[in-house]
Amino acid sequence: MLSLFQFHYPVAMTTSDRIGILGLGAYTPERIMTNEEWTEWVDTSDEWITTRSGIKRRRIAGEDETTATMAVEAANRALKDCGLQPTAIDEIIVATDTPEVYFPDTASYVQHLLGAREVPAYDLAGSGCAGFLQALDIARSRVGAEGRTILVIGSEMLTRIMNWRDRSTCVLFGDAAGAVVVGSGEDTIEILAAVTGTDGSRAGILTLETGGTRAPFSVEAAEQGLHRNIVMKGPEVFKEAVGRMAKVSRQVLEQTGLTIEDVDLVVPHQANMRILSAVAKALHIPPEKVFANIEDFGNTGSASVPLGLTQARDEGRISAGDLVLLTSFGAGFHWAAVLLRF
């Protein structure tokens, strides 16, 4: 007699299987916007922006580009990097705070545009710049439980949602996408450990409130530009970001019995150069061990870490056997760290 219930048993993994990253890919739009161009929009200067953020340039998406199209470009490059076709993917996770539409989720568009099978696809939204590492941690657990091959993407088009007249925030952001293929096998970039956390009591220090159920979108809100009003309480964000990134980095190392001295390279979220320097100081890491590309790309949100990791690998900053620490923070207030062995 057949049971009314069907059970799906996890795929058994052999002792030689390692869960990790099979392929890396990133995409940045062609248009480069310099600090000098911002003087046409707001009262600022190259010196003012550089001194406060370390940013010189950022990428701006073209009119024919969207969050989903950028995500697909990065995904295709990650798939090519490991020699897989889109049909090999069993699940898709997209980390973004700048969705294609209000609903359905951006992952639905990515699944279709990519030519993937009818697999589970969903967004991890609202986590700010910590979203990609949160998604990577979820993918790791899914691979371990189900033996799946999972595509994890961070894609942000922040220049489409920000207020181009708000000097305190508009000069910080850029558009980009980064992706990794997560699976198991002997030849992976092994994910040794991951730690994530949240303190919702600090949600108000970094937020875009208008447009949700608390403050619905309206004509009046639009006339005041509230739907583009990114609230960023700089000093509080700085303190939380530095403290949380340093602490979670120590925690992820403790899980493996390793120390910061064992780390060959740190790839942090690129929020601004002051935060990167403060985190390095808090962890007692020399500057040369901290990867930074903020000068050329600005803050690209959830795309920041995969973009940096791909660039560091492609530029030869990472060698076989290297221990690489990824760390980030984001609105929520969320934070995360992942430890990789190449």
Which of the residues are catalytic? 129, 269, 299
Query: What 3-state DSSP class applies to 306?
Result: helix
Distance CA 24, CA 192 (A): 17
Distance CA 282, CA 152 (A): 30
Q: Could you tell me the two tokens for 264?
A: 């060959």
Q: 156 CB contacts (<8 Å, ≥6 apart)?
A: 67, 96, 97, 98, 175, 176, 177, 300, 301, 302, 303
Query: What 3-state DSSP class applies to 12?
Result: coil
Q: How far is CA 106 from CA 95, 111, 192, 213, 223, in A?
A: 9, 9, 29, 20, 27
Q: Are 2 and 138 in contact (CB under 8 A)?
A: no
